[in-house]
Amino acid sequence: MTASDTNVTASPHPGPRTDLVVTDAPSPADIAVISDALDRFNIEHTGITDRTPLAVLVRDPKTHQAVGGLTGRTSLGLFFVDLFYLPPQLRGSGLGREILRRAEDEAHARGCRTAVLYTITFQAPGFYRKQGWKLLGKVPCDPPGTSRVFMTKELTAPTGQPVRPR
């Protein structure tokens, strides 16, 4: 148990005894247990075993260390963009557009038909709109006046034709 764990309590529900722990520091092993179990559940119900990470990394040419890029995953015909960051000095050059295009192309090659993401109103919804992404909805968050912006994009074949379902 980490110093940030709180409220270790027995579950109030009947059945097997469990402990409930609220934490801001789950271990990688804890996250893997949940992720892997959910993946197995999805496979049992769909027969599809295609969950795969996807990243387009921007590396410093001298140190070869990542300085930005995009991370996400593909699963069940969807491409999820999880994180996308470029340092300020690399913005406005077309690099962001190229990173997103490469990620979308890879997702399309993996059989994805649709992409989804969320950004925040002070981050990059305008950038994504310029790349063909459409608004799904907004959810207010802090600070007041700010929203999470959920977006989607239909991934198309290089000829501009929609991707055929697998």
Give the number of residues written for the chain: 166
Q: What is the pLDDT along the chain (166 residues), one digit of tens a residue?
A: 555 666 666 656 677 888 999 999 999 999 999 999 999 999 999 999 999 999 999 999 999 999 999 999 999 999 999 999 999 999 999 999 999 999 999 999 999 999 999 999 999 999 999 999 999 999 999 999 999 999 999 998 754 555 455 4
Cα–Cα distance, 1 to 86 (Å, whole number) = 35
pTM for this predicted structure: 0.82
Residue 54: burial class (beta carbons within 10 Å; 0-12, 13-18, 19+):
buried
**What CA dihedral angle connects 18, 19, 20 and 23, to 10 degrees?**
-140
Cα Rg of the chain (Å, integer): 19
